[in-house]
A and B are shown apart, each in its own frame.
Chain A
Amino acid sequence: MHHQGPSVFHPWTRPGWKTLVRGLLAVFTALSAAGGLGAVEPSLEIHGSLAQSYLSSTHNDILFPGTEHGSFEFSEAYLNASRSIGEKLRVGAQILSRDYGPEGNHDVQLDWGYGDYFFNEKLGMRVGKIRLPLGFYNEYRDVDSARTELLLPQEVYREGLRSFILAYTGVGIYGKLGKGLRAGDVDYHLYVGTLNIPDDVQFVQPLRRSHNAPAMGLETDRVYGGSLFWNTGLKGLRLGFSAARFRGHYDIDSPALFYSPLHAPFLSERGLLQEAEPKVVGVEYQRGRWTLASEYQIFQRKAEYSADFKRAYAQPIIAAAERSARAGGADAATAATAGQAAGDKALAGLNVGSFAFDSQGWYASLSCQFDDRWSAFLRYGEYLAERSQRSTPSLRRDDYAMGLRRDFGVHWRAKAELHLFDGSAGALAVRGNPIADSWSLLALRVSFDF
């Protein structure tokens, strides 16, 4: 049975949209013409989206402070432009304005922007700021139209870590291997570069609080990683593995730190180091209107003081202990031993401030697109803030989620979903109340794109 589907594909090219984007188009057209590269098919694509969400949780806050009283502080706007230059080169960029609780506050920033050169099916190269391939959905986690859910599974795609794992700035190669094989083909993406981590990212907040260092930021030394997605011979079935390794250091710039002997040494370069290593495996099966997906993630994070910093921190303590021992009549060897013991004790106390997390999460979801207007999903997820402590309610969270999506044409949509939680890992205490182990979240969103 046939039906006349909605008119799809770049409706922005209609006169109304042309008027809206005329200015940007003129700029990009001028830029591309100046390049003189002789485009085979000159075309500039401009697209954008808007999304406004509402979150309301019971007992605890989730994602960011204030959700227990209902919060609209979750909105996003994107505008992107891209252009093909010849058959093999593409350039494009997307700007983002986002508000997510204490993060973003609608500052405009570059979301991604890169040049992409396609050598052949097996090898392409991208240079610039590029979405980081981690799990099936991280690269397009903000494309609201691409999924039924409002919130991606927080067991793998934690919103609090979004700014951390969203995009790398550097060089990546990609391609497809095994094309035409009966067993299917493999899409790969390998990269090396740095991360641009905003100062207000929640990832840093616990360390800021523990060190009374509100101006602490996280600087990247390097990040590298890759993804392998196997599109199997069974149509609709794909398997994925992706991993990233990050190393950086905290940068502290606050005169107030001079007042604390513990914090003062942070002023030295690279005193506190951060390592992070997420790995995700997953399976997705899409058949007709149904999509079944499950992913598992291990996320190891470690913050520790550098060896140089430890030496600098312990040295005056060791010297003082040696002086004290000598003053008491000890010989050089005994004084050195006393000094070393004092140094070790000081460093042991210092290590209390180090942070090491070894979290894991997984989910299984089933979604169905009933027709071009209605779709729904069911999902279960389990998150352990510390893998070794499965039975501690404050470090564990089970999420039973269900939701509905309603499309109004191809540009507008509304979503509603309910999460029932057991355990409080990731929950935030509401001022004056203890954290509850059984609670819920209602999330609503309206979004538009063109």
Chain B
Amino acid sequence: MARRMLRSLILALGLLAPLAADDVVMVVANGSELQEISAREISALFTGMTRTVGLRIARPAVLRQGGAHQSFLDRYIGKSPAQYYNWWKRLVFTGKADFPKAFDSEEQMAAFLAENPSYIGYLSPGHVTGDLKVLTVRE
């Protein structure tokens, strides 16, 4: 009985604890006027709940998989990759939005962002190239 209660307690604490997240940075092209973004704006933009950051129209770019993608979802979205995909389906299947631009690798994402200043993406710090700048994230 005590063991079962302990197991339940550990499970409950595990659910409430902040999820572990590796480093991931928000990036845009050097040509973008954007310098900073809030965590709430990131969440809203990448879940299709807003189309602007500040007063500018912005578009999200996402990775399909990998550590940076998982860290990004853990830190800013609070959904698993499958939950995140299903979230977007509800927007797409009601005509409210298109799926975000998606990439298989961080290299592809970095190359795309460098040439498209209206997009915001995320990368692990090691993949930030000279064409990109890291946004300051306000919590």
Contact = CB atoms under 8 A, between A and B. Distances in A.
Interface of A: 1-10, 43, 45, 47, 49, 78, 80, 82, 84, 87-88, 90, 92-94, 112-114, 116, 118, 120-121, 131, 139-140, 142-143, 145-146, 176, 179-180, 187, 231, 235-236, 286-290, 369, 371-372, 407, 410, 449
Size category of the B interface is: 35 or more
Given A146-B89, A407-B82, 15 more contacts: A2-B67, A3-B70, A5-B82, A8-B64, A80-B95, A92-B95, A94-B95, A112-B94, A120-B52, A140-B94, A143-B89, A145-B90, A287-B78, A372-B81, A372-B83
Contacts of A43: 98
B136 interface: no
B95 A4 contact: no
A43 B101 CA distance: 10
A271 to B, nearest CB: 37
B94 A87 contact: no
B99 A146 contact: no
B98 A145 contact: no
Contacts of B19: 288
Contact of A372 (B38, B78, B82, B96): B82
B31 to A, nearest CB: 15
B90 A369 contact: no
Contact of A2 (B22, B49, B57, B83): B22
A9 B52 CA distance: 21
B50 A139 contact: no
Given A45-B99, A140-B94, A287-B78, A145 B86 contact: yes
Given A2-B22, A116-B95, A235-B43, A8 B81 contact: yes
Given A121-B50, A176-B50, A289-B15, A82 B82 contact: no
A82 B90 contact: no
A118 B96 CA distance: 11
Contacts of B41: 180
Contact of B85 (A92, A139, A235, A410): A410
Interface string B53-85: 001010000101111011100000010111111
Contacts of B40: 180
A42 B48 CA distance: 19
A231 B100 CA distance: 22
Nearest to B67: A2
Contacts of B50: 121, 176, 179
Contacts of B64: 5, 7-9
A146 B85 CA distance: 9
Contacts of A84: 98
Interface in B31-55: 38, 40-41, 43-44, 49-52, 55
B98 A369 contact: no
Contacts of A113: 95
Contacts of A80: 92-93, 95
A92 B70 CA distance: 31
Contacts of A114: 95
B104 interface: yes
Nearest to A140: B90
A31 B19 CA distance: 47
B83 to A, nearest CB: 6
A236 B99 contact: no
Contact of A146 (B44, B69, B86, B118): B86
